Chain A
Amino acid sequence: MAQVVGSKRKRGLEAALVYAVLTVLVLAFVFPLIWVLGLSLKTRLQIFSTPPLFLWWPTLENYADVLTRADFGQAFINTMIVSMSAVLLSLCVGVPAAYAFARFPFTGRTFLFFALLVMRMLPPIAVLVPMYVLFSKLGLATTRFSVVLADTTFALPLVVWLMRGFFEDLPAELEESAWIDGASRYRAFWHIVLPLARPGLVAASILCLQLAWNDFLFAAVLTNNATQTLPVMMAAFNAGDSGVDWGGLTASGVLVILPVIIFSFIAQKHLVAGLSSGAIKG
């Protein structure tokens, strides 16, 4: 922003004000997570002490408890399997389509493209009701595979929208010269376009991974105790009203969100394009 008017002193005051406001905002936005992180490092007695403790010697016993629970390990493995498979499926299915959308005209192109957008935008519960009925008739209702399929309904449009943008930004001359040299479309796509689009593939996989990892609704309906994912298990912590295990809940919460936050920071540059469904390039 151009600052045409304003003396040096006034500008210094303004900067101080901006910092002050930002500090308050950052504290407000980050505080809940810091507090929960703190709770996870307290003993049961310390958690419930009044007034709340602001200084204490941290303990890892909650984490030790959570990590030795059999169901946490199982849920972690389930979440890994489900989200990785959803990413893989969406990429395998969506990336060639994104390339076709970016490069070749075909009938129904615009319609199909916007149908994909609608698919991403419609409320998941509306798809889930019939999906559950159909899957339970097919004997898929409590399997991890059913969650993978359900997650794909939202991950696939994301991949297509994001990758289309990346492919459009690549110069078409490279593939064209490959075609003229006699390479088939498949070879040019596989050996020339895909390697060039690697940053896009990484971003798309991370954003899909985030989507699948964070999904609660699909997993809650389409899994049972053996196939449940971490978010479903987290919600179950909360179900017993008599005694919510604060230490266990906060420690496992931290463990669930840590990987996602790390992934998201890696893909930070592409977050905007991902979350605006390609309506804006970040």
Chain B
Amino acid sequence: MEEFGGSELARRTLVAAAPRAAWRRPGIMLDRYFTRVAILPTFLVMLGVFGMPLAFSFYLSFTGYGQGQRLFSGGYVWLENYQDLLSDPVFTGSIAITLAYTAAAVAAEMILGLGIALLLNMDLPGIRICRTALIIPMMVTPIVGALCWKLLLDPSHGVINYWIGQHIVWLGRPDTALAAIWIVGVWQSTPYVMLILLAGLRSLPSEPTEAAAIDGASRRQVFWHVTLPLLRPYLLVALLLRTIFEFRAFDNIYAMTGGGPANSTMVLSMFTYLMSFVRFDFGLGAAASWLMLLMALLMCLFFISVIRRREVT
């Protein structure tokens, strides 16, 4: 906060030093509104491409709007869209699948990411190459990564079935499809967790660990009672970010199963997509997306409260 004090002082100096007549010059008049001018475009974009569409979709969710209608011509159906959704087993099922998938993916990414970060944090020669290699999956265009995995998992020509010596139709069976998508998600996103936690480990002070070791703590004790508590803020950020991003999972599922077989991989994003852009029922789509938004918003607010607490301390 010191900067503000400094710049405020400088501003007053500037105002005091400026000759009176100079204030009539438009340049200096404009200068007084610098902050507003700088913020305005961002504010407009936020309102135009984010706030307005969301408000419009809130309105849409109470109407029966199909494609080809005029903008505000959809008749009000009030809560019918929401009622339809909540009594639709596919939709309620998709909530359960989304939550289960998110929990499973985030748990695996956190555990694996933490393990890899701990290994990479050791000062051994050549470890940078490993780090570089391990972050590649995260840079790959998600849809391309998913399509690649689809080829690997191909029932007759895929290399995975060749190795395990079985003919498993991974993406065609309700019991394996979600697991396959989970593997791809974990493959893609573990590097995120790993990078965040590695940054955290690097920023930890070394004194507490050393002190504990000198006091005779075993390495396991140091890990559980010193390193992990110190790493807590980073773990929390990684956990929340991954939860928010896995909750919206779409690309992999679109590329690999399209929500099938038998809706076993129908996550909320996929459901909303199919409702809106395949069935073109925008009223239902908007209602589904608002329910999804509310859930995501809760997670966001939690995330924000965590960051704010960190910024204060």
Contact = CB atoms under 8 A, between A and B. Distances in A.
Contacts of A132: 276-277
A203 interface: no
B140 A126 contact: no
Contact of B130 (A26, A126, A168, A216): A26
Contacts of A172: 3, 6-7
Nearest to B65: A133
Contact of A129 (B35, B57, B157): B57
A14 to B, nearest CB: 9
Q: Interface residues of A: mostly helix, strand, loop or mixed?
A: helix
A235 B17 contact: no
A257 B251 contact: no
Contact of A238 (B13, B54, B150): B150
B286 A129 contact: yes
A103 B148 contact: no
B144 A150 contact: no
Interface stretch (B78-86, B88-96, B206-214): B206-214
Interface in B286-309: 286, 289-290, 292-293, 296-297, 299-300, 303-304, 307
A48 B156 CA distance: 9
How many chain B residues sit at the interface, stated as a range, is 35 or more
A129 B282 CA distance: 7
Interface in A241-256: 244, 246, 249-250, 253, 256
A179 B14 contact: yes
Interface string A157-181: 0001000000010001101100110
A33 B135 CA distance: 12
B150 to A, nearest CB: 7
B293 A126 contact: yes
Interface of B: 3-4, 6-7, 10-11, 13-14, 17, 27-28, 30-31, 34-39, 41-43, 45-46, 49-50, 52-54, 56-57, 60, 65, 71, 116, 119-124, 126-127, 130, 132-137, 139-145, 147-152, 157, 159, 162, 187, 190-192, 195-196, 199-200, 206, 209-210, 213-214, 234, 237-238, 241, 244, 247-248, 250-251, 254-255, 268-269, 272-273, 276-277, 282, 285-286, 289-290, 292-293, 296-297, 299-300, 303-304, 307, 310
Closest 10 CB pairs of A and B: A130-B57, A96-B38, A123-B248, A97-B42, A126-B289, A185-B34, A130-B53, A176-B10, A100-B38, A264-B139
19 contacts: A1-B209, A30-B133, A32-B148, A32-B187, A52-B159, A100-B39, A106-B35, A125-B272, A127-B54, A130-B286, A152-B45, A173-B6, A175-B7, A185-B34, A210-B139, A216-B143, A256-B141, A257-B144, A275-B195
